[in-house]
Homo-oligomer: A and B are copies of this chain.
Amino acid sequence: MKNRQWLIAARPLGRGLLDSDFTLTDGEARSPEDGEALVRTLYLGFDPAQKGWMENIGGYVAPTEIGDVMRGSGIGEVLESRHPNLKAGDKVSGQLGWQEYAALNARDLVKLEDDDLLTANLGALGTTGMTAYFGLLKHGRPQPGDAVIVSGAAGATGSMVGQIAKIAGCRTIGIAGGPEKCAWLTRECGFDAAIDYKSEKKLRAKIKELAPGGVDVIYDNVGGTILNDMLACMAMHARVVICGGISRYETGQLPAGPENYFNLIFMRATMEGFIVLDYMNEYPKARARMRQWIRDGKITFKEDVQEGFENAPRTLMRLFRGENFGKQILKVA
């Protein structure tokens, strides 16, 4: 059976992604062995970390090789199963990779409820939602009444962070690019305020106006000057969660580090990083809560669904250009 695959053709280290970083090939779908299932890819999910995986930075996932099938999470339908827990027709999520078919160990696949929240398993109920949940709750440690600020707030992770913080009784401020995203944050996602960094010339002053007592929790997805400005506005004993750094991914020269790290001293503050995979054994409980919050209308989300397997590289590039509005998904079949 013909199996189109996108392979890693080059490492985009220190530069933006190029079309030539990927090669589209016609492979063959392998038959499943004992314990495996053959899955047809329905949707792929996209995340900035995928560029880092191509570069082999971080070391928290197995290294990639040039010529490997591009790594990525997806949702698929089981075509054939040689494991008792799965049967043909089941919907599953897992690291399917950028290919139309994948024969994978059944233990690496999560069986999904086949309902209206199917694609949410790539976003709010997937690694994105888990990243927001554990990053905020384990590392931001929000207390009721805290002021929580989130950069990249209209992104798939950032918008979840603000909504979970709201459930936790916090005041929430989002930083996002453009009036449309900002309006969505305050009108749909329940953020108390949103700052459009593209039009706001005095970001620090604006944050201080919105959080006169300082921000207790900073959840950063961006890095660069936005992180630095947020660090200028900390409350005493603030917690700074370093989740991502989209401003760092596209540039040849890394943006300067945050010189206001020194405020950690005066504010007796903490800056922490985390890898969400470390909390994997707590995912089921978190997923159940997120699902309930969605059903209760306390958490909303957007999905940006592109179409066509051939568009996978261009779909990933959308993330780095701020073109996506909502969780970036590609409908493959």
Q: Please give, as numbers and ranges, the residues of chain B lying within 8 Å of A10 by CB-CB distance.
A: none
In the complex, are the beta carbons of B242 and A264 less than 8 A apart? yes
Further 15 A-B residue pairs, CB within 8 A, beyond A58-B265, A223-B262, A257-B258: A57-B266, A228-B257, A243-B265, A248-B262, A256-B259, A257-B259, A257-B260, A257-B261, A258-B258, A261-B271, A265-B273, A266-B275, A267-B273, A270-B270, A271-B271
In the complex, are the beta carbons of B266 and A273 less than 8 A apart? yes
Give the oligomeric copy count: 2
Is A292 at the interface (CB under 8 A from chain B)? no
Is A272 at the interface (CB under 8 A from chain B)? yes
CB-CB contacts of A8-21 with B at 8 A, as 1s and 0s? 00000000000000
In the complex, are the beta carbons of B228 and A266 less than 8 A apart? no
In the complex, are the beta carbons of B272 and A270 less than 8 A apart? yes
CB-CB contacts of A96-117 with B at 8 A, as 1s and 0s? 0000000000000000000000
7 contacts between A and B (CB under 8 A): A59-B266, A228-B257, A242-B262, A242-B265, A248-B262, A269-B272, A271-B271
Q: Please give, as numbers and ranges, the residues of chain B lying within 8 Å of A263 by CB-CB distance.
A: 273
Q: Please give, as numbers and ranges, the residues of chain B lying within 8 Å of A264 by CB-CB distance.
A: 242, 271-273
**How many interface residues does A have (CB within 8 Å)?**
34
Q: Which 4 A-B pairs have the closest CB atoms?
A: A264-B273, A257-B257, A265-B273, A257-B259
A binding-site residues for B, Cβ under 8 Å: 57-60, 223, 228, 242-245, 248, 254-275, 278
Q: Please give, as numbers and ranges, the residues of chain B lying within 8 Å of A259 by CB-CB distance.
A: 254-257
Q: Closest CB-CB distance, A232 to chain B, in whole Å? A: 12
Minimum CB distance partner of A244 in chain B: B265
Q: Give the complex CA separation of A162 and B120 in angstroms.
A: 50
Q: Give the complex CA separation of A185 and B187 in angstroms.
A: 60
Q: Give the complex CA separation of A11 and B183 in angstroms.
A: 44
Q: Give the complex CA separation of A44 and B270 in angstroms.
A: 33
Q: Please give, as numbers and ranges, the residues of chain B lying within 8 Å of A258 by CB-CB distance.
A: 257-258, 261
In the complex, are the beta carbons of B257 and A268 less than 8 A apart? no
Minimum CB distance partner of A238 in chain B: B273
Q: Give the complex CA separation of A228 and B258 in angstroms.
A: 11
Minimum CB distance partner of A255 in chain B: B259
The residue from B244, B254, B260, B265 contacting A274, defined by CB atoms under 8 A apart? B265
Q: Please give, as numbers and ranges, the residues of chain B lying within 8 Å of A265 by CB-CB distance.
A: 58, 242-244, 273-275
Q: Please give, as numbers and ranges, the residues of chain B lying within 8 Å of A261 by CB-CB distance.
A: 242, 257-258, 261, 271
Q: Please give, as numbers and ranges, the residues of chain B lying within 8 Å of A57 by CB-CB distance.
A: 266
The residue from B243, B245, B256, B269 contacting A273, defined by CB atoms under 8 A apart? B269
